[in-house]
Amino acid sequence: MKTQELPKTTKRFANERGSANHGWLQARFTFSFSGYFDPDHMGFQSLRVMNNDIIQPGGGFPTHPHSEMEIFTYVIDGQLEHRDSLGNGAVLEPGNLQYMSAGSGIQHSEFNPSKTERTHLYQIWLHPNEPGGEPRYMEKPLSEMAARNDLTLLYSGDGRDGSTEIRQDAEISFGQLDAGKSVEVGASEKMPHAWVQVISGKVNVLGETLETADGLAIEDAPEGFAIEAAEDSKVLVFRLS
């Protein structure tokens, strides 16, 4: 009997990521971004940005433009105040995830409204599968909708199972696992690649151990794979075409 080969995996250690310190902002870059350039880390499939930011009290990004990008912001600690050219204004709380499809063009600002507490977040960008389109904006309260010891589908290209439709053949799921528990990432011929980003905790995936802020690229895994929690953990899972 032929032994099935494991998919190719590439681990991105948290402490090997690019970095920037602007005083009001401390950032870590999984992929090349702004002044950080590494030709070996330019993105993975349609996943282009995985920035892990800490914004000091009162700091933030003034109004600036985006276009042709699917943008997701996940607040881990603190608050993030958002305003955009569509008229949206909100303060994102811990556990909230924001989606903004820049489409043909949008402007927005992001600030830490607190005078005493820092804001810790991830900002994630996907390339859209086609240019243009009207900008979109939506928020998701993960603390209310995410099931324990399971994967909750948040975003997909077709909006299935109550997920938000995005402009890419991709799926983004959130997993919240207790120590000793595991979940299966389902099979997908259409989206055979995957990226696992550990928000907190420690997990085992395809023979690799991942800890807080580690990422794992998985190539050609159409049959799916398991994520096993070595301790209480939170992960984002990307299925990519």
Q: Which of 139, 118, 14 is nearest to 73 (CA)?
A: 139
CATH no. of 8-240: 2.60.120.10
Q: What is the pLDDT along the chain (241 residues), one digit of tens a residue?
A: 445 678 999 999 999 999 999 999 999 999 999 999 999 999 999 999 999 999 999 999 999 999 999 999 999 999 999 999 999 999 999 999 999 999 999 999 999 999 999 999 999 999 999 999 999 999 998 878 889 999 999 999 999 999 999 999 999 999 999 999 999 999 999 999 999 999 999 999 999 999 999 999 999 999 999 999 999 999 999 999 9
Query: Does residue 162 sit in helix, strand or coil?
Result: helix
With contact defined as beta carbons under 8 Å apart, do 170 and 126 qualify?
yes
Domain positions in the chain are 8-240
Q: Are strands 164-165 and 215-219 parallel, antiparallel or unpaired?
A: unpaired
